[in-house]
Structure 1
Amino acid sequence: MKNPIVLIIISLFLSCQNSAQSNKSQNSINDTKPVEVSIQNGKARAYFASGCFWCVEAIYESVKGVDEVINGYSGGHTKNPTYESSNTGRTGHAEAVEVIYDPNIVSFATLVDVYFASQNPTQVNGQGPDRGSQYRSIIFYQNETQKQIILEKKEALAKQLNAKIAAEVYPFEKFWVAEAYHQNYERLHPENRYIQGVSIPRLNRFKEKMPEVLKKGY
């Protein structure tokens, strides 16, 4: 019969080892070269994470120059994340959106302004009632120009609020499209209690802050 104390020590060692490997994989993301997504049919793409993607999707779809918003996962160290796996917090991914936009109508800099205006920029690992690393705030850059825009706006906001801004700044690597039932969620499920109690109020707060960027009808 094996000594139970020895088994506990081995278990703890393996647990720490797995955690260290996971952290090492996650930390290496910041050292990677960003992937730049080419403009297709005159449309560019930008990537943001800011709490529940249902909320963020609705916010960006209200902005002039945005053609479509797709919900998904980004910022992690595993392949093919799912809603269930990302919710464990072990994949490193956050719920994110792909914003497909016309750069002749709305700039990347304005999309970053929308990002900060539509959230609590000081909340760490979540937005509102959504808590956990899978809901953390991340802005993804595809080139050095975008990175500088993000860092300058983040620094200016930190000075304005006299507070630390929670958003992480990552080089963009890969966006994994979420399950079909997550797409266009607020529009298709206006009766949902979360949509009514969290998502729509968040959208309305943003609309009050930046009415100049809204599409007609919003």
Structure 2
Amino acid sequence: MTSFVVAGGCFWCLDAVYRTLRGVSDVVSGYTGGEDDAPTYEKVCTGSTGHAEAVKVVFDEQVIPAEVILNVFFTLHDPTQLNRQGADVGTQYRSAMFYNNEDEREQMQAALERAADWWPEPIVTTLSPLGTFYPAEDYHQDFFAKNPGQGYCMAVAVPKVNKIRASFSEYIQ
């Protein structure tokens, strides 16, 4: 199994999208990229910890290529928005990819370069070494499936899930 850690707005949307893909065995919502050694949702939401809301996507490359996982990332959010996604504003909502090793860094850099051809504005996604990944509180895990009628999910997550279903239909469960 392979895992990538990416951040692109609220982790609920990333989680909802990646869970629809064949070959993805787990998605863990969490926090990374900051200074606090005990981040919580409440602290991260202040923007003072430096953490991003992120997901760790665990997948089987025999079923879904790493390139597709990264292409989905650049399709499901707007990587040209600095420190925001739509109405979610703050550094915790930044677009970022976090790598474990040089191979992951190269794969993520290649994905960033591919995506630059898809977006008319410059991409602001950062590429950084993965420090500690802190899983978010239990109620954030698989949030969309547990709360499908929640307003944010209906207004923000559902359109992203539908976009990925249309663009990557061969990988949908």
What is the identity, as a one-letter code, of the residue corresponding to 2:71?
D
Who is 2:61 aligned against? 103
- Which of residues 2, 10, 17 in structure 2 aligns to 1:59? 17
What is the identity, as a one-letter code, of the residue corresponding to 2:92?
Q
Structure showing greater relative contact order (alpha-carbon pairs closer than 8 Å, 6 or more residues apart): 2
Cα RMSD between the aligned structures? 1.3
More off after superposition, 123-132 vs 57-66: 123-132
Who is 1:78 aligned against? 36
- Which of residues 187, 192, 198 in structure 1 aligns to 2:150? 192
Point out the structure with max Rg over C-alpha.
1
Of Structure 1 and Structure 2, which has the larger fraction of its residues in helix? 1
| Distance 1:88-1:61 versus aligned 2 partners, 3 A rule | same
Deviation at 1:162, TM superposition (A): 4.2
Q: Does 1:175 align with 2:133?
A: yes
Q: TM-score scaled to structure 1, two decimals?
A: 0.75
1:139-218 alignment, distance < 5 Å:
139-215=97-173
What is the aligned residue count? 173
What is the identity, as a one-letter code, of the residue corresponding to 2:139?
Y
Q: % of aligned pairs identical? A: 37
1:15-34 CA distances to partner (integer Å, 9 max, x unpaired)?
xxxxxxxxxxxxxxxxxxxx
| Distance 1:175-1:190 versus aligned 2 partners, 3 A rule | same
1:22-60 CA distances to partner (integer Å, 9 max, x unpaired)?
xxxxxxxxxxxxxxxxxxxxx222111110111100111
- Which of residues 124, 130, 143 in structure 1 aligns to 2:82? 124
Deviation at 1:160, TM superposition (A): 4.2
2:30 and 2:135 in contact (8 A); partners too: yes
Who is 1:47 aligned against? 5
1:108 and 1:146 in contact (8 A); partners too: no
